[in-house]
Structure 1
């Protein structure tokens, strides 16, 4: 079975054919992959790492027939957490800037700016009428509707990322976040995720809230 790193690399390399060769060389593509992998394996990460991106890409495969701009959505997945510092409030902005710098000239400006907007939207997860963006936001939150075992692992991974926070304060803040998700009606914005993940997500969240 392929490791998460191998799956990540394989998915990235598949995207190369969708770039214009005169603006984006194989060498640039491989260099970007190396930098992405290095970023997602930084020591402060427990959840926001290669596994999360691979899980998001697997979900993209399930809904790609519903997506208008598949390249943009996959790039948004690859880059949306590329900068992640648990103490920072600007991770999404920094990730979007990192993506823009890496892919400058490789894609049309309008497409780049769209991906920037989508990455920024993963900060608030607000309701949106934009047809592709709703899938990105649901994919990013699909972990909440994963199996009970994976959800428990996710909870531990998030705690590990905030290991420096006092336990009582962490539990209070984490409960606020999970309650907000639990009370969202519906939690997911697309029919696919509502049908396949909503019920399990609410069960997981209810159990976590005790």
Structure 2
């Protein structure tokens, strides 16, 4: 946890120093940290953002607009309530409020705002950069068996108030929908690196349930 917090801050400082003054950077960082350490979160935490950013650094040379994509990563889960159905919309709204004076209108309103909302459905896009964002967000499905098991436990903890049997049915349906996506990952990098691992992880969990 402490390592994730350290990396979270370091990644933010590296990103923010290019576009924000120190006061703006510190204010937004505090909001991001407070959000991603809320008590209702187990998976949608600093760890998830750091994992996304680590993947982002590997594919930056494939991205047309690295600024927009990284900004979307930082804010795509800034609002997270397991009982709500509009987390992505609220996250996009907060991103727009906090960043509208620091980045151009085209970046905020024509790209990042819509990209954050797109993480709700993970539908194939005609925008190459958005497909990379969606693949980054789903990369956890292709993680090592140990990390995937941890992820499943973290998601269960976020929905701990849901009856066990109801949760198992709904979770199986959600994982099955990912398993049935052909392909699951839309970009060549993520398809090559994670597709087979993800399908194996998903199949194992679906069969167990």
What secondary structure, in the 3-state scheme, does the structure 1 residue paired with 2:14 have? Answer: helix
- Identify the residue that residue 93 of structure 1 maps to in structure 2: 89
Tell whether 2:73 aligns with 1:77: yes
Q: Which runs of 5+ in 1 are unaligned?
A: none
User: What's the CA shift string for 1:137-182, capped at 9, x where partnerless?
Assistant: 0000000000000000000000000000001100000000000001
**Cα distance in 2, alignment partners of residues 68 and 2 from structure 1:** 33
**Aligned Cα RMSD in Å?**
1.1
- Identify the residue that residue 60 of structure 1 maps to in structure 2: 56
Query: Number of residues paired by the alignment?
Result: 206
- Identify the residue that residue 4 of structure 2 maps to in structure 1: 4
Tell whether 2:164 aligns with 1:167: yes
Question: CA contact under 8 A between 2:142 and 2:201: conserved in structure 1?
Answer: yes
**Cα distance in 2, alignment partners of residues 105 and 33 from structure 1:** 16
- Identify the residue that residue 16 of structure 1 maps to in structure 2: 16
* Alpha-carbon distance change, 2 to 39 in structure 1, aligned in 2, over 3 angstroms: closer
Counterparts of 1:12-161 in structure 2, within 5 Å, are 12-19=12-19, 24-113=20-109, 114-161=111-158
What is the CA distance between 1:17 and its match in structure 2?
3.7
**Cα distance in 2, alignment partners of residues 16 and 175 from structure 1:** 39
User: What's the CA shift string for 1:26-83, capped at 9, x where partnerless?
Assistant: 1111111011001100000000010000000000011110001111111100100000
Q: Which runs of 5+ in 2 are unaligned?
A: none
Question: CA contact under 8 A between 1:118 and 1:133: conserved in structure 2?
Answer: yes
What secondary structure, in the 3-state scheme, does the structure 2 residue paired with 1:65 have? Answer: helix
Give me the TM-score of the superposition, normalised by structure 2.
Answer: 0.96
What secondary structure, in the 3-state scheme, does the structure 2 residue paired with 1:42 have? Answer: coil
Question: CA contact under 8 A between 1:81 and 1:91: conserved in structure 2?
Answer: yes
Give me the TM-score of the superposition, normalised by structure 1.
Answer: 0.96
Question: CA contact under 8 A between 2:17 and 2:25: conserved in structure 1?
Answer: no
Query: After the TM superposition, which parts of structure 1 deviate over 3 Å for at least 4 consecutive aligned residues?
Result: none
